């Protein structure tokens, strides 16, 4: 059937979409009011849409439906997980459980790495590697000036971290032209 002066058909409601109300996605046209996630019905825009063949989703629903599956996926910040792990043979634990026998705990879960600065356990969410050792993000600072460090300005010496400026001042070359002696004084006899 020929299109007689109207617009394209909406990908959601199949009605005519006129230019003033048209949103295009994956070569298909939608009304502004029909451009929402097919799973949760959340309104979409060009930054939140994820398309799969002829279906449109918000990025969260798209990830749940077509993203990677398994342990560790889909549990980012903002996701509420009610999975207790019973299907994996794990029993639910109270929120603030303490282990009465640390040797059983370490045998089951392994020894956690310790931060060289504070000596406390470093967990994956707060771990920064420097000098081949794990550090807390808050402990990843210059040992002399206390400046917060990044991979671009960190140097290590004898298991301690320094910013490049402090490292150069304290362990770098010395002499003429290196911030030490600026000129030589000759003795006349």
Q: Look at strands 133-136 and 127-130 and give their pairing.
A: antiparallel
Question: In sequence order, what are the beta bridge partners of 31?
Answer: 22
User: What's the CATH code of the domain at 51?
Assistant: 2.10.110.10
Number of domains in the chain: 2
User: Does residue 46 fall inside a structural domain?
Assistant: yes
**CA–CA separation, 138 and 163 (whole Å):** 15
User: Does residue 82 fall inside a structural domain?
Assistant: no
User: Does residue 53 fall inside a structural domain?
Assistant: yes
- Tokens 């994996």 correspond to 88
User: Does residue 43 fall inside a structural domain?
Assistant: yes
User: Does residue 160 fall inside a structural domain?
Assistant: yes
| Among the listed residues 110, 107, 132, 131, the one whose alpha carbon sits nearest the alpha carbon of residue 121 | 110
Tens of pLDDT, residue by residue over 30-62, are 888 898 888 888 888 888 888 888 888 888 888
User: Does residue 180 fall inside a structural domain?
Assistant: no
| pLDDT at 145 (0 to 100) | 92
Angle, CA of 120, 163 and 111, to the nearest 5°: 20
Cβ density class 21-34: b for 16+ within 10 Å, e for less: bebeeeebbbbeeb
| pLDDT at 144 (0 to 100) | 92
Burial class (CB in 10 A: 0-12, 13-18, 19+), 58: buried
User: Does residue 13 fall inside a structural domain?
Assistant: no
Residues of the chain with pLDDT under 70: 1-6, 69-111, 175-189
User: Does residue 133 fall inside a structural domain?
Assistant: yes
Domain region containing 38 = 22-66
């Amino acid at each position: 059937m020929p299109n007689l002066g109207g617009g394209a058909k909406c990908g959601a409601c199949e009605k005519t979409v006129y230019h003033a109300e048209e949103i295009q996605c994956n070569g298909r046209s939608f009304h502004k009011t029909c451009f929402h996630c097919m799973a949760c019905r959340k309104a979409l825009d060009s930054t939140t849409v994820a398309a799969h063949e002829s279906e449109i989703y918000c990025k969260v629903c798209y990830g749940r439906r077509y993203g990677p599956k398994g342990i560790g996926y889909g549990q980012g910040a903002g996701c509420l997980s009610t999975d207790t792990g019973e299907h994996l043979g794990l029993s639910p634990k109270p929120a603030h459980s303490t282990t009465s026998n640390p040797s059983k705990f370490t045998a089951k879960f392994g020894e956690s790495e310790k931060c060289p600065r504070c000596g406390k356990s470093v967990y994956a969410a707060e771990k920064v590697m420097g000098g081949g050792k794990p550090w807390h993000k808050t402990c990843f600072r210059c040992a002399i000036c206390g400046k917060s460090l990044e991979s671009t300005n960190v140097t290590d010496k004898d298991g301690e971290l320094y910013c490049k400026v402090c490292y150069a001042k304290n362990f770098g070359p010395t002499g003429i032209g290196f911030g030490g002696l600026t000129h030589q004084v000759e003795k006349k006899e």
